[in-house]
Chain A
């Protein structure tokens, strides 16, 4: 009764129309016993942040293939900061060039999982980093 379940928002910011990867991740997290809120394609940063608040998630997983991550991720992080939220773990995946990774991490994206990552690694990372 007193065990808390990890809740994860899997979100697809921006305009790309492919969510196969996001769905694979959602499924893997579900199989690891997490509650995954999936909101579908083409989410604005505002939608993502508001959903994360209402759903009281521990983790936001951002999946992006369009290349707009350097624009959209900081916007999401700014919005979270504006609302005074600092207890949500932010991770990302998709097509993200290596040279952007360091900068994204500096902004507050805790880990970036590029194509080919074993889903087990993602599960472990979440379990280890959600307090």
Chain B
């Protein structure tokens, strides 16, 4: 049986193998993704983001368990940072999801960011697609712990939850511009700690100042992840938000944006490969040398490389 067929039947080994292929060698994986594409688009994708230590994994775990009680099938993509020096990574999100490990209807994949900035990995969108094709009803994407600008999660999710916690110094530091704007729903986790009410008040204040572009009023919910408190109401808000986005036409727009990003990323990837293929590494290194020696500036170097590219492109065309 072909790999794609196995995946469509929900075979977890086949799914795991294709995810590895997507991560290591996208081009080889592409024909399988082509085969799976017609079966995608059914899953609802929920992004979970927030600063390190706010409880993203625990919240994801609790939401997944909630959905399992309703017999929904769940996929989880848990992203952790790769070392910029060695490329290695410790992927530890599963520590908070131990109970889900043997549930046949939950598929969890830990992913290293592998040099990709923005809080995701380069292949996240393809991994979503594979889990969608295997028949998951809901897919959670848990980003790396974010600071102030990792906002790629909105480009791949239907709905984004921003998880924050009280007591991280100046509370509002953790949710500055960018991060603050991407959450459809705010979750104040660890809400049994001191400072919860103050944090909620500060978020409320900020939301009042935010220009209301959509009619969706962003709710702020309290949860205590380790005690499974607050997740019924959180899920109700998620459903409400989803229906609202669908009714207002915003969901269609978001999914269209996602498609745009996907095509754009693929273009960029093939374009880049073609570019470096055509200019050749020697030329590039020569320019690096020249500019490092202060013999020339990077602007002229770039111009020269582009002319080489154009020249070789025409030659190849002939």
Contacts and interface: CB of A to CB of B under 8 A. Distances in A.
Nearest to A31: B86
B16 A37 contact: no
A14 B195 CA distance: 39
Contacts of B91: 35-38
B36 to A, nearest CB: 17
A66 interface: no
Contacts of A83: 13
A9 B180 CA distance: 35
A7 B23 CA distance: 12
Contact of A37 (B23, B26, B102, B110): B110
B90 A3 contact: no
A43 B12 CA distance: 20
A130 interface: no
A47 B101 contact: yes
Contacts of B13: 53, 56, 83, 85
Contacts of B90: 26-27, 30, 36, 38
A34 B110 CA distance: 13
A110 B88 CA distance: 23
* Interface bin, chain A: 20 to 34
Nearest to A58: B20
A4 to B, nearest CB: 4
A5 interface: yes
B19 A5 contact: no
Nearest to A36: B90
B25 A2 contact: yes
A56 B23 CA distance: 12
A1 B102 CA distance: 32
B20 A47 contact: no
A38 B88 contact: no
B14 to A, nearest CB: 10
Given A3-B24, A54-B16, A33 B87 contact: yes
Contact of B83 (A2, A7, A30): A30
B258 interface: no
Interface string A43-60: 110110011011110000
Nearest to B88: A30
| Most chain A C-beta atoms within 10 Å of own C-beta, residue among B13, B90, B102, B273 | B90
A40 B98 contact: yes
A126 B165 CA distance: 40
B110 A55 contact: yes
B101 A39 contact: yes
B12 A4 contact: no
Interface in B79-136: 82-83, 86-92, 94-95, 98, 101-102, 107-110, 112, 114
Nearest to A23: B90
Contacts of A54: 12, 15-16, 107-109
B153 to A, nearest CB: 21
Given A5-B23, A47-B102, A50-B102, 18 more contacts: A2-B27, A5-B87, A30-B88, A34-B88, A35-B89, A35-B91, A38-B95, A39-B94, A44-B102, A46-B101, A51-B101, A51-B108, A54-B15, A54-B16, A54-B109, A55-B110, A56-B16, A56-B19
Q: Which 4 A-B residue pairs are closest in the complex by CB-CB distance?
A: A40-B95, A30-B88, A56-B16, A4-B24
22 contacts: A2-B24, A4-B25, A5-B112, A30-B83, A32-B88, A33-B88, A35-B88, A35-B112, A36-B89, A37-B92, A38-B92, A40-B92, A46-B101, A51-B101, A53-B13, A54-B12, A54-B15, A54-B107, A54-B109, A56-B17, A56-B20, A83-B13
Interface of B: 12-13, 15-17, 19-20, 23-27, 82-83, 86-92, 94-95, 98, 101-102, 107-110, 112, 114, 273
